[in-house]
């Protein structure tokens, strides 16, 4: 079976500084790969290089078995890859939630009626149908993240790239997000600092350091610990 995404010895420099140097990875169908690394290690750049928003100076990107070098190659593959940005405000640009979720399906050639129906179904599946008519820039951080995810899932992607999906998301919407990702049966690459989240979802982990990816190990063990928390009095 061909890999959905395969990066081979990617070199990518920005402003004269090497961000990736010899980064390689392969994502097989159904895999959920977590990528961890320090701030500024190049995790976001790696995701951007996969969808061709940033081009590597050397190395190969292959998407769904086809080498991708030109904008046209990436463009053909993008509808099959859903990229959840770190900052939801960078992703939401339509006035209403329904329009934003319908944007992707419209790009893939669906008519307005079908696109809206697809958007409504997706919102409903994520448990946020009540947001459909709201203005995107007035949503809470957690709501924005869910709407972004709905916008990606409406395109029925085969791979999800998630960049810090739990950042700035409250508990209730975090549970919706986790449920939606658990129900998603495609492959995903997950960049996160949230260890609990990574341990719950990832089937494999890699560590990005000094521009290279090395295999990591996810382990879960009990700790005797204490921490403060707050409940209603």
In the complex, least distance from residue 29 CB atom to another protein, rounded to whole angstroms: 21
CA distances from 209 to 197, 214, 215 (A): 21, 8, 11
In the complex, least distance from residue 45 CB atom to another protein, rounded to whole angstroms: 12
In the complex, least distance from residue 195 CB atom to another protein, rounded to whole angstroms: 27
The distance between the two most distant Cα atoms of the chain, rounded to a whole number of Å, is 60
In the complex, least distance from residue 102 CB atom to another protein, rounded to whole angstroms: 10
CA–CA gap between residue 104 and residue 177 (Å, rounded) = 20
Q: If we measure between CA atoms, which residue out of 192, 182, 181 comes closest to residue 152?
A: 181
Place of tokens 């009540």: 130
Nearer to another protein, 32 or 48 (CB): 48
Strand partners for 191: 35, 163
Q: If we measure between CA atoms, which residue out of 122, 170, 167 comes closest to residue 147?
A: 122
Q: Which residues sit at the interface with another protein, rule CB under 8 A?
A: 48, 51, 53, 75, 78-79, 81, 83, 85, 87, 89-95, 99, 103-104, 106-108, 136-137, 151-152, 155
In the complex, least distance from residue 219 CB atom to another protein, rounded to whole angstroms: 33
Q: Is residue 59 left, alpha or beta, with left meaning phi > 0 and alpha meaning psi from -120 to 50?
A: left
73 within 8 A of 63, measured Cβ to Cβ = yes
25 within 8 A of 5, measured Cβ to Cβ = yes
In the complex, least distance from residue 178 CB atom to another protein, rounded to whole angstroms: 23
Nearer to another protein, 3 or 87 (CB): 87
Nearer to another protein, 40 or 109 (CB): 109
Nearer to another protein, 139 or 205 (CB): 139
Nearer to another protein, 152 or 188 (CB): 152
Nearer to another protein, 116 or 205 (CB): 116
Strand partners for 160: 82, 188
CA–CA gap between residue 193 and residue 202 (Å, rounded) = 13
């Amino acid at each position: 079976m061909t890999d959905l995404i395969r990066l081979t010895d990617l070199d990518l420099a920005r402003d004269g500084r090497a961000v990736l140097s010899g980064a390689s990875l392969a994502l097989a169908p159904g895999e959920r790969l977590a990528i961890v690394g320090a701030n500024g290690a190049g995790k976001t750049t790696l995701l951007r290089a996969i969808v061709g928003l940033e081009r590597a100076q050397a190395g190969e990107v292959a998407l769904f078995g086809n080498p991708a070098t030109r904008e046209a190659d990436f463009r053909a593959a993008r509808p099959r890859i859903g990229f959840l940005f770190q900052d939801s405000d960078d992703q939401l640009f339509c006035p209403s939630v329904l329009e934003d979720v319908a944007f992707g399906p419209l790009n893939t050639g669906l008519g307005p009626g079908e696109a809206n129906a697809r958007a409504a179904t997706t919102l409903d599946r994520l448990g946020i149908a009540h947001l459909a008519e709201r203005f995107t820039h007035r949503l809470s951080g957690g709501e924005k993240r869910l709407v972004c995810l709905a916008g990606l899932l409406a395109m029925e992607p085969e791979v999800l790239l998630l960049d810090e999906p739990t950042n700035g998301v409250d508990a209730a919407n975090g549970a919706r997000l986790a449920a939606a990702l658990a129900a998603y049966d495609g492959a995903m690459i997950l960049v996160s600092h949230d260890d609990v989240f990574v341990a719950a979802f990832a089937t494999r982990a890699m560590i990005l350091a000094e521009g290279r990816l090395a295999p990591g190990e996810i382990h879960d063990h009990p700790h005797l610990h204490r921490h403060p928390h707050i409940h209603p009095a």
